[in-house]
Amino acid sequence: MKTKMHRTVLGAAALSAFAFAAPVLADEDAELIVNGDLSIVTKTAAPAHLSDSLDEILSGWRFRNDDTQVMQMDDFDNPGMLGADVGLDQFAAVMGSEGKSCADCHDGPESLSTVRATYPKWNEAAGEVRTMQMQINDCLTNQMGAEAEKYDSAKMLNFEAMLAVAARGTPVNVAIDGPAQSVWETGKELYYTRFGQLELSCANCHEDNYGNMIRADHLSQGQVNGFPTYRLKNAKLNGIQSRFKGCVRDTRAETFNPGSPEFIALELYVASRGNGLSVEGPSVRN
């Protein structure tokens, strides 16, 4: 596997006719198998709702360089797994005035193995689309009498990493019909809006130009199946909506904040663009 990747990279370098330095390119044909036995779908046919714009969908893993790809192939090398382990401890810890832990109501993370793949999701009782973090906060405050966690806090992302591991390898399957549909439409509109002084939409970079370099960055499809992601750049777990915030800021726009109605809608929409890819978190990215 390793040798094959290296040959591909050398081939690409030899083909490039130009003298300027090019970053090491990803092997977009590599397959992700974790710990030698868990196959992860990182490329598959696009869901029907994307048929006008994409034929296939690709995980961000495919666009990372060899070293970063390899880090995610073994849980001992994946720094994001530390957060998932802490998440397990948090799951068993008593928090709040009711004297309960998550484990008092849920039979281990395995009993929550469909969560990561299906959120954001319509909650009938609350009459709203909920992200995983909103649901976790609902448990913390209403079931356990604990303080709500801030959006994308380290503790939240540890919970998310743990639940991602519980769902790892299962296909993302976010519902976009029924009562969630109007929120999904809002998210879709945001995805195609050209924000900021650079007038760039998510689609400009992640639909029209994935696979292309933008300066030294190799553009992916901006999928969220790998979240939370451990980024080598800031050496910690990163949340979906914090990533959105960074991308909108980079268009020289007034950005939205994690937890805002706009980003909840956008998360629903972007997650649905990954329907069919495997849950892959905690992933490793640069």
Binding positions are 102, 105-106, 139, 202, 205-206, 243, 247
Catalytic residue list contains 136: no
Both tokens of 223, joined, read: 């999928």
Select from 42-50, 89-97, 210-218, 224-232 the region that touches another protein (CB under 8 A).
Answer: 210-218
Shortest separation between residue 75's beta carbon and ligand HEC, angstroms? 18
| Residues 215-254, mask of contacts with another protein (x by CB under 8 A) | xx----------------------------x--xxxxxxx
Residue at token pair 């007034």: 254
Instruction: Find out whether 71 and 78 touch, Cβ atoms under 8 Å.
Output: yes
**Which residues have C-beta within 8 Å of that of residue 227, sequence separation ≥ 6?**
160, 164, 238, 239, 240, 243, 281, 282, 283
- C-alpha angle 53-265-110 in degrees, rounded to nearest 5: 95
Which residue's CB is nearer to ligand HEC, number 80 or number 144? 80
Q: Cα(35)–Cα(135) distance, rounded to whole angstroms?
A: 30
Instruction: Find out whether 167 and 279 touch, Cβ atoms under 8 Å.
Output: yes
186: Cα separation from own chain's centroid = 20
Pick one of 137, 229, 272, 278: the residue that binds ligand HEC (CB under 6 A): 229
Q: Cα(86)–Cα(89) distance, rounded to whole angstroms?
A: 5
Check binding of 199 to another protein (CB under 8 A).
yes
Shortest separation between residue 225's beta carbon and ligand HEC, angstroms? 8
Instruction: Find out whether 154 and 237 touch, Cβ atoms under 8 Å.
Output: yes
**Per annotation, catalytic residue among 95, 203, 247, 253:** 247
The item of another protein, ligand HEC, none sharing an interface with residue 239, based on CB under 5 to 8 Å by kind, is none
Residues that constitute the known binding site for heme c = 102, 105-106, 139, 202, 205-206, 247
Which residue's CB is nearer to ligand HEC, number 60 or number 83? 60
The item of another protein, ligand HEC, none sharing an interface with residue 208, based on CB under 5 to 8 Å by kind, is another protein
The item of ligand HEC, another protein, none sharing an interface with residue 68, based on CB under 5 to 8 Å by kind, is none
End-to-end CA distance of the chain: 21
Instruction: Find out whether 34 and 75 touch, Cβ atoms under 8 Å.
Output: yes
The item of ligand HEC, another protein, none sharing an interface with residue 100, based on CB under 5 to 8 Å by kind, is none
Check binding of 13 to another protein (CB under 8 A).
no
Check binding of 164 to ligand HEC (CB under 6 A).
no
Both tokens of 49, joined, read: 């709702």
Query: Which 59-98 residues touch ligand HEC, going by CB under 6 A?
Result: 60, 63
Residues that constitute the known binding site for substrate = 243
Query: Which 171-210 residues touch ligand HEC, going by CB under 6 A?
Result: 200, 202, 204-206
Which residue's CB is nearer to ligand HEC, number 116 or number 206? 206
Bond into 228 cis (ω within 30)? yes
55: Cα separation from own chain's centroid = 20
Pick one of 204, 236, 259, 286: the residue that binds another protein (CB under 8 A): 204
